[in-house]
Amino acid sequence: MEHMKLLLILITVLLNKPSLTRSDDDDVLVHEYYKDKCPLAEEIVRHNVEVAVLKDPRLAASLLRLHFHDCFVMGCDASVLLDSVEGMASEKEAGPNKDSLRGFEIIDKIKFLLEEECPLTVSCADILALAARDAVQLRGGPRWEVLLGRKDSLESSFSGANLLIPAPNSSLEALINNFAQQELDIGDLVALSGSHTIGRARCVSFRQRIYEPKQEYHYGYDHYNRYTSFRRILQSVCPITGRDNKFAPLDYETPNRITEQVWAYASNEDLFFKSFAKSMIKMGNINVLTGNEGQIRQNCRSKQRQGKGKGISSPRCIASMKEFRRKLPICQNKFHHMPNVTSLACK
């Protein structure tokens, strides 16, 4: 009899053991979060990303970049998708994003289909994370399991987007510090920089680098002429003046596929893919909203009105904005040329 009691206790403990696969606890991100809530969610995202990328291969890089620009401002909370309203300027209008970010219409379409399938269930933040993963894999990159269960923010931060998103001409030291503020290390910086082997960039984004004199080129630094040759190719596309919006490939040989690009991974693509996937998971968990924080938007471009849908009505400032405030003074010191922040648009 005593043995039977112990067996029943053991079974009860095992059945109630927390799992990273699924959980009824919305306070943590888990795998297969929508398995019961919206079984077709990941399939709907993947199918629509696949169709979009087949039509326009550059959208793969655009969706990846959209996720990155979202996560580096307040966290992975879909704040980048919010349109401007009275009293709140959209992150879309910030310097690093204006006339540059793409893919919003794809996210809108996916959200519309998910709302038809499972109303007010799948967050815009999770859609961004899944779309980025699928876009990378569809262009020949690695696949990783995305932890899900994010909630959407109730606000955006125009000032934060100007301060926290790395500039194209950032020095290595500035990039290391910028990533460190997001609790990403040098290894993450190197791995995530590999994402620049897909997509294209406008001339205005990198002209300074290809025309500034580099003394090291004359002292054996570029022994095999890799940098010199590529620089000349870019100069042929982008003259010293004009053609600001002309596009050039980020990787001349393979603009549509993630391959070994960074020296540390040059001889081992598998190692690069594993490191890239690990860093993407880490980035996708930056300052996420879960449980009663944030909400699930019906439309990714606007927050859900108070009293409607799922989520709380109080602003996001209650939670992760505390961390965001802590970071801003550091950024202002390092990027002193940016506009001074007098308000965090926390209404």
Residue positions annotated with a catalytic role: 69
Give the type of residue at 40. L
3-state secondary structure of 88: strand
Closest CA to 68 of 186, 161, 174: 161
The enclosing H or E element of 117 equals helix 104-117
- Count of CA atoms in the C-beta half-sphere (13 A) of 341: 25
CA–CA distance, 199 with 251 (Å, rounded to integer): 8
Q: Tokens in use for 281?
A: 């998971």
Q: Which residues contact 205 (CB under 8 A, 6 or more apart)?
A: 168
Neighbours of 134 (CB within 10 A): 23
- Torsion sign, CA atoms 223, 229, 230, 231: positive
DSSP 248: E
- Count of CA atoms in the C-beta half-sphere (13 A) of 331: 28
327, 164 Cβ separation under 8 angstroms: yes
122, 296 Cβ separation under 8 angstroms: yes
Q: Is 169 left (phi over 0), alpha (psi -120 to 50) or beta?
A: alpha
State how far the alpha carbon of 57 is from the alpha carbons of 63, 133, 136, 200, 254, in Å: 11, 15, 11, 10, 12
239, 201 Cβ separation under 8 angstroms: no
Give the type of residue at 280. M
